[in-house]
Chains A and B, each alone.
Chain A
Amino acid sequence: MSQLSVLERLEILADAAKYDASCASSGTAKRNSKGGKGIGSTEGMGICHAYAPDGRCISLLKILLTNHCVFDCHYCINRKSSNTRRARFTPQEVVDLTLSFYRRNYIEGLFLSSGIIKSASHTMEQLIEVARILREEHDFRGYIHLKTIPEADPELVAQAGLYADRVSINVELPTVAGLTRLAPDKSAPQIEGAMGSLKEAIVEAKDARKRFRNAPKFAPAGQSTQMIVGADAATDSDIVGRASTLYGNFGLRRVYYSAFSPIPDASAVLPLKRPPLMREHRLYQSDWLMRFYGYAPHEVQQAAGADGMLPLDIDPKLAWALRFRGDFPVDVNRAPREKLLRVPGLGVKAVNAIVAARRQRRLRLADVGKLTVSITKVRPFIIAEDWRPVLLTDRTDLQSLIAPAARPAQMELFA
């Protein structure tokens, strides 16, 4: 095979990496290069330096070191039996690319993953080498996210956390049966074992930092994972349940959902369809309900239908409210914060504003209107100084009054 140019390999290896949803560059320790010889900074909030027409943020240089892989996971474009073009970068090439992009302010840092070559440990060593050169030789203070290979030597995984801001291991599929069928070379206990030891290392390092100022930082932005949605038979209820177990057991910062999308030269085991983007969106909304709105996992599951699927036409919060109408209306002038957070159409910011404003005066419907995007959606669920929904809350056609009527065949709804 003739040697491909850096440009051609970048095309192959960025294309091969794009099915990983995460691009976050937030929540890590604050650093800058003032007074140093290095380059870069992280200031807590992540920055999206561009957006692609798929609506996804481009924050990090997200590439694979190589897309050669000894594994044969059916959903993956890089699986051994796929006919895709193969390429690889040397660690130094990745370092040079990262730095030249970073200096031009294209990116916040690097998200590096890889196909498995030779062995899991060998691959992990290569990934770590990139991070080591960036941190030690170039004093790079930008963001580094390393994908960790669960089958690799735990010693190496521990080393990765010392250089990286975030480490992640993908659980890939929400059910063990799905994993066995679609990722026959991976094992659920091994993945969870590796996530467990990462969690321990993160907690230990945090603890050490409390006692010793100079203890090394270990993955200060924590660990995350990704689940593919729509490749196996798991229901939304299954997925929400699995995600909450993962959050609970492994202290994850984020669980990412990735709608299974068609890939070139796909495996015959997975018939290709349009990706279920709306389903993915509803799962993220349910994730938000659990993380910021105080919903317990079983409550989100209550919003799902008898088939275990969240409705696609309305958001899960509204679905929950329509199912538990007895909890409404909520008095904006009296109700505790937790109750206000359950009102469809009121976000965390709006609730905070209401709680602050009602200390100053009794809120009327118009006042609430100023603090929210759409008062029509909120109105049936609240009581204000001059407003009481009377029968509205109990109307059977309530959904059609507040949710936009079934829009003309939106393609992604039928994905």
Chain B
Amino acid sequence: MTPFRSMRLPEAFRITLSAPDDFEGWRDAARRMIRADVPPDRITWESPADQSADLFAQGDRRLPAQPADAPQPRASRDFLQLAQSVILHSDSTRFSLLYRMLWRLQSRPRLMEDKADADVRAMEDLARNVRRDIHKMRAFVRFRVIESEAGDHYVAWFEPDHHILRANAGFFVRRFTTMHWSILTPRGTLHWDGEVLQEGPPATRADAPSGDPVEALWRKYYASTFNPARLKIGAMLKEMPRRYWKNMPETALIPELIAGAQAREAQMVKAGEQDFGEQPQSLAAIAEAILACRRCEMGCNGTRAVMGEGPQGAALMIVGEQPGDTEEAQGKPFVGPAGQLLRAHLQNAGIDMEQAYVTNAVKHFKFVPRGKHRLHQNPTAKEIDICRWWLDGERALVRPRLVLALGASAARSLLGKTVSVQKVRGEPQVLADGSELWITTHPSYLLRLEDQSRAEEEAKFANDLRKVSTRLSELSGRISTEG
């Protein structure tokens, strides 16, 4: 001991609190010290958890006498509030920081508002760490179930950075009131039986269960809700630092999810690769390009693509589904049986097919071989959507005032959605470029019907075409009078 020093300086004190988060104890002692006018550098603070903090600390464990006339220490409300968080920090200098602040507050009552002050900032930093630790505990505690005849017991192992266990107990009690649970930590344990909260001594990881069958579901959920196209590892680590990972069942998956992510994304981008580039500038360019188009399976079936036909600038565009057996062989649209039926009906309705631009929603012929025959197959929605690029190109160049779609495939190609032809026929719709869309059945549908029903459907078909014819002359009349 050094009597030499204590002769010249005020008496030194050593205060031991009952627990590392003992706010009441600190407050009582600090009040006493302020009243006895003991300056901050004459006190050594310690608590059971940080005994080793200052091995050479000196001082008397007695407390100083309090002068009866000393004024009551003053502390602002925001200081007291913040101090209750700060005291939970594991930094062993927290008690002396708080005392120094209290000491300074006696002469500067509004010190807490000076946010640029070093001590105020130190307090706020510690409090922020504590609040974060409290929040992360609420987030990252993972219960595992021990089933027994007495009922399920939910047990978690968690390693907090600070002395927050007791302060955080209320949250778990309020949330899991009806459950029987325990939270085990290296700093102490909590046990709730549905009615009473009990504290226990520090535990080890081995005291907690090693698994839970529901974790397989949770891991599957974690992996599935992850979007590999948006890898942002930094953002994850910022909020879920590695030190928490060891007690969270889902984090074992992270390395493989990250490793697989870029490959999965690249695969999706490649599979969806539909980069057609610039729209062709002429019908001839489209005719040439479709011959080489291999963007869908149909394009790869070895058949010859069939281009639309008719005058560029035609007022009417007729869109069918796809070239059939005859069309593919001749390389021209609507030259087979369905085409002949269409031609006859158009003539009856007073529409000159030679004046119309005639094309198909998809340009290749899709079929299954049956002996000598090639049996027509409907294109899929996806094939129609892909081929829409070429039809859009033709529409942009021909600029028809009226588009007549024959059948559901043609309608999808123009509308982007599948509609019921029977519901939408006979009424025009306006397309994005201002042209009018009319939808009716495909003539090959008529060919498949027999007797009575064929007659009925043909009558409806003829009726639709008459409406189109009337509308066409209205439109061309309007154009010529407007022009």
Interfacial residues of chain A within 141-193, with CB under 8 A of chain B in the complex: 177, 180-182, 184-185
- A51 touches B (CB below 8 Å): yes
Question: Among the listed A19, A48, A106, A367, which residue makes an inter-chain contact with B239, where contact means beta carbons less than 8 Å apart?
Answer: A48
Could you say which of A12, A37, A103, A261 contacts B229, with CB atoms under 8 Å apart?
A261
Digitize B218-250: 1 where CB-to-A-CB distance is under 8 Å, 0 elsewhere: 101111111111111111100110000000101
Count residues on chain B whose CB falls below 8 Å from chain A CBs. 79
Q: Complex: how many Å from CA A47 to CA B135?
A: 8
A357 in contact (CB, < 8 A): yes
Alpha-carbon distance between A357 and B261 when the two chains are bound, in angstroms = 47
CB-CB under 8 A from A371, the residues of chain B are 115-116
B416 at the interface (CB under 8 A from A): yes
A72 interface neighbour in B230, B418, B432, Cβ under 8 Å: B418
Q: Contact: A266 with B268, CB < 8 Å? A: yes
Instruction: Decide yes or no whether B275 CB sits under 8 A from chain A.
Output: yes
B-facing mask of A1-43, CB < 8 A → 1, else 0? Answer: 0000011001110110111000000000000111111111101
Query: Known contacts A262-B272, A277-B232; is A181 also within 8 Å of B381 by CB?
Result: no
Among B3-11, B174-182, B345-353, the one that faces the other chain is B174-182
Q: Are A103 and B179 in contact (CB under 8 A)?
A: yes
Query: In the complex the two chains form, is A72's CB within 8 Å of B178's CB?
Result: no
Interface presence of B63 (CB below 8 A):
no
Q: Which of A55-63, A244-252, A292-300, A307-315 contacts B (4 or more CB under 8 A)?
A: A55-63
Kindly report which residue of chain A lies nearest to residue B233, judged by CB atoms: A53
Which of B89-97, B137-145, B285-293, B444-452 has 4 or more CB atoms under 8 Å from chain A?
B137-145
A269 contacts B by Cβ under 8 Å: yes
Of the four ranges (under 10, 10 to 19, 20 to 34, 35 or more), the interface on chain A belongs to: 35 or more
B212: CB under 8 A from chain A? yes
A55 with B236, Cβ < 8 A, contacts A39-B179, A103-B176, A268-B388 known: yes
Residue of B nearest to A14 (CB): B224
Docked-complex contact A54 and B232, CB < 8 angstroms: yes
* B244, closest chain A residue (CB): A50
Contact across chains for B177 and A33 when beta carbons are under 8 A apart: yes
B273 close to A (CB within 8 Å): yes
Query: Whole-angstrom distance between the alpha carbons of A19 and B300 in the complex?
Result: 33
Q: Is the CB of B273 within 8 A of A272?
A: yes
Q: For residue B232, which residue of chain A has the nearest CB?
A: A55
Most central of B121, B227, B388 by chain A CB within 10 Å:
B227
A33–B171 Cα distance when bound, in Å, is 11
B176 near A272 (CB under 8 angstroms)?
no
Would you call B143 and A53 a contact (CB within 8 A)?
A: no
Chain A residues with CB under 8 A of B121: 370
Asked if B269 is at the interface of the complex by the 8 Å CB criterion, the answer is yes
CA distance A189 to B207 in the complex (A): 59
Spell out B's residues near A (CB within 8 Å): 110-111, 113-116, 121, 135, 138-145, 154, 156, 171, 173-179, 212, 214, 216-218, 220-236, 239-240, 248, 250-251, 254, 257-258, 261, 265, 268-269, 271-275, 295-296, 380-382, 385-386, 388-389, 415-418, 432
> Which residues of A pack against B, CB within 8 Å?
6-7, 10-12, 14-15, 17-19, 32-41, 43, 45, 47-58, 61-63, 72, 74, 80-81, 83, 97, 100-101, 103-106, 177, 180-182, 184-185, 259, 261-275, 277, 353-354, 356-357, 359-361, 363, 367-368, 370-371
- The 13 sampled A-B contact pairs (Cβ below 8 Å) are A11-B224, A41-B174, A52-B225, A52-B257, A81-B381, A103-B145, A104-B144, A104-B212, A105-B142, A268-B295, A268-B296, A268-B385, A273-B269
What would 19 more interface pairs be, CB under 8 Å, given A45-B135, A363-B116? Answer: A10-B217, A10-B221, A33-B176, A35-B177, A41-B175, A50-B240, A53-B226, A54-B231, A56-B227, A72-B381, A104-B143, A105-B141, A105-B156, A262-B272, A266-B268, A266-B271, A268-B274, A268-B388, A268-B389
